[in-house]
Amino acid sequence: MFKSLKIYNLLFLRLIFILAGIEITILFFKKDLFFTTIFSLFVVFLLIREMYFYVKNFVLLYNKTIASILQDDFSSDFSKHRFNKNYDDLFNLYDTLKTKQKEEVSRDIVYRSILNNIETGIFILQKEGDDWNIFLMNDYFSKYFDVPKITKWKYLKNHLPALCDVIEEQGFQEIKTSIEIRVNQENVQTFVMQTSRTEICDLDYFIVLLDSIQNVVEKKEKEAWVNLMKVISHELLNSITPIRSISQNLQELVEQDSISSDDLEDIKNGVGTMLRRSDLLQKFVEGYRKLSMLPSPQKEKIDLLQLIEYCLQVMNPLFKEKGIEVINAITFKYWLFVDQQQIEQVLINLLTNSMHALENIENKQILIVAEIKENRIFIKITDNGSGIDEEIENKVFLPFFTTRKEGAGIGLTLSKSIVEAHGGYLDFKNLDGKTTFVICLIEG
């Protein structure tokens, strides 16, 4: 503000000098001072000329700077004008906006680089009036679907009509669904499509993510294999390491010229330890074989209440010993079409799991309920134990994972496999310090 007033003052002073020069010239003219009048006119002319170029340069510089700012063109060089302190505010504004533009460009490059390195098809639409234009398309989408980096929605629709039709049918609203698309004139492939819509600074954006089902499955399989190999290698090392160590000690003992009674006792203890570790390793392998060779369910019509009561009869001696109250809240009659032995095994595994979760609880209780929704039956087993810790929630159904020293870690994995073989699913949830396992089965 101060510098602006200074500029106005300079212009005002120039104007005063010009007016004063004109008055003096008129005065000389009235006194018939011819040569002095001519000289005075020449001085006035120089003052007017100087003011003209001052204002011209001032306006041109401001116009050039403002035009650069409006057009996001920060390539202009104003270094020769920077000595003039009258333009400090203007150049500070220019430099500030130039720095912000560089930051925005850098962020844009980083974001685009991240999006282009993601193995998921991504494109973003921007609404302009009643039409949508392509704001961004990552390299993966362009290469995978063989679509050039176009900017018009109608051109994308020419390349991928099946995809665009689904988006238009939903009115460019948020959806998550599967879609079949033919890629490069090859067989039809299934993709998971997830969309979202957001408004930023009065601009409407529509984001589309496409993942091949095959890629999703491969990622999940890879994660499962990595987790499984960790468990298997851990279990094998736990057995092989002590066996190898004991074998080396025994070898040293038997290579002696004579074996004392103490050495003989050490040999017996070592052989016993090796046998115990071998038995554990054998149980581990048998458990793995049990998981990998699960027979197909032989389904038959079974009464739900009868099935639950049978499982409770099997578990009741243990429940009484542990002081556990079991409440069967299922009152309605319902027929299941399942493999009775396999589903019994699932229920007994879940009841056993609940029993161990109640070891350090005073008022031990297990609740069994069921409900029917949309041709599905949900059997829920809830205990008031300490719940499942967040850090192990994603490992609960992992083969051979267990938090109990005597556990084999295959009960929940086997139960999940059995339920899935019946076309249902097994899941759990923690709520208010209680753990609930849910068996979902489709009606018969």
pTM value is 0.42
Q: Report, in angstroms and rounded to the nearest whole number, the Rg of the chain calculated over CA atoms.
A: 42
8 A C-beta contact, residue 361 and residue 385: yes
Please give the pLDDT value at position 177: 82
Please give the pLDDT value at position 285: 63
Q: What are the extents of the domains in the chain? A: 2-96, 118-213, 217-292, 300-442
pLDDT surpassing 60 at residue 217: no
Query: Per the CATH hierarchy, to which homologous superfamily does domain 300-442 belong?
Result: Histidine kinase-like ATPase, C-terminal domain (3.30.565.10)
Torsion angles phi and psi, residue 391, rounded to 5: -70, -15
Which CATH number applies to 118-213?
3.30.450.20
Mean pLDDT, the chain, whole residue set = 77
Mean pLDDT value of segment 310-321: 84
8 A C-beta contact, residue 55 and residue 15: no
Nearest to 379 by CA among 317, 417, 427, 418: 427
Least confident of 85-89, 98-102, 384-388: 85-89
Fold (CATH) for 217-292: Helix Hairpins (1.10.287)
Residue 211: pLDDT band by 50, 70, 90 thresholds?
Answer: confident
Whole-angstrom distance, CA of residue 9 vs CA of residue 17: 12
